[in-house]
Amino acid sequence: MKTAIYGAGAMGTILGAYITKAGYQVDLINRNKAHIDGLKNHGAKVVGKTELSVIVSALLPEEMTDKYDIILLMTKQMDNKSIVAGLLPFLQDDGVICTMQNGLPELSVSEVIGQDRTLGCTMSWGATFVGNGISELTSDATRESMTFSIGKFGHVDNKHFEYIVKLLDTMGEVKVEENFIGARWAKLLVNAAFSGLSVVTGDNFGAIAKNRKSRLLALKAIKECIDVADKAGITIEPIQGKDVVKLMDYHNRFKRMISMMILPIAMKKHRLIKSSMLRDLTQGKKCEIEAINGVVCAYGDKVAVGTPINDRIVEIVHRIENGELTSDWENINLLKDL
């Protein structure tokens, strides 16, 4: 099937390299001309936890002419409705979009193309954008670390679904989720804790897990996510075979201490990851904090569960967006009362 990765930045470039290397067709599409020029001139280069160089097909959005059977959507989701509407002329009548974005983006995608053409996928690995056709893999380069969880939002036909599973399997293990909303929440709670605090501190996931103050804040942010999901009737799925609720849902000081000890071990494989929101902010762009921590806050309001840590992270990140603060460890002091 004719396939495109739309928004092929850090993670999309790496995924595209693996898919292409395995012999499948995929177009890497991005608005960043310098990055697309690099992909065209020397292919996709992956550095960091692995070294890989693959000649790929790369396009700017204005160079798109074909209709695709499958579009893997990897843009920021703030403008999902307009982006998906703009992709409709380049999608086959029975074509599908698989959103691989953070947060809970399936609803906004399905509102444009319908539930029966919408799939969702979470990725439990990380990457950093270098540019000029280069991306850094910051998670361990093993199939066990580079995992995917995929599910249908509506009654997507099996031929598209199974083909996407094949594409993703070229890079890592793929888990088909019957309870996909639970898988979304599993990834969301990690992003809410670590991506949010990565912006607050300007540092990577490993540093946040190592520092006792930020580790406690991350754990409390996770706990808020667990409490909100529980009240909303959502069963959170395991991450890479680990039951995150069992490990992180504390109800007394002793269990919290155990969870605090487990957290750095759980994040060891992903310690070098920095939030992609940091890059957006350095480029003067708004970031997707409302689609990550903000979603937890919004759900908390709906089910009457307090989310003070996530609320404060959203507030601090907006202050960074507005130029009132910079991403720095000093910002942890703005959370110390919590």
Mean pLDDT by 10 residues, the chain (338 residues): 97 98 98 97 97 97 97 91 96 96 89 94 92 94 92 89 97 93 91 95 96 97 97 91 92 95 90 88 88 94 97 97 95 95
Written as one string, the DSSP assignment of 191-251 is IIIIIHHHHHHS--HHHHHHSHHHHHHHHHHHHHHHHHHHHTT--PPPBTTB-HHHHH---
**CATH number given to 182-335:** 1.10.1040.10
- Burial status of residue 332 (CB atoms within 10 A of its CB: 0-12, 13-18, 19 or more): middle
DSSP-based three-state secondary structure for 293: helix
Q: Where are the domains of the chain?
A: 3-178, 182-335
- Burial status of residue 325 (CB atoms within 10 A of its CB: 0-12, 13-18, 19 or more): middle
Class of domain 3-178: alpha beta
Give the pLDDT score at 10.
Answer: 94
| Residue indicated by tokens 């490990």 | 247
Give the pLDDT score at 251.
Answer: 93
Give the pLDDT score at 207.
Answer: 96
DSSP 8-class letter at 170:
T
CA–CA dist 319, 299 (Å, integer):
22
Give the pLDDT score at 9.
Answer: 95
pTM for the model stands at 0.79
Give the pLDDT score at 97.
Answer: 97
Give the pLDDT score at 186.
Answer: 92
Give the pLDDT score at 250.
Answer: 94
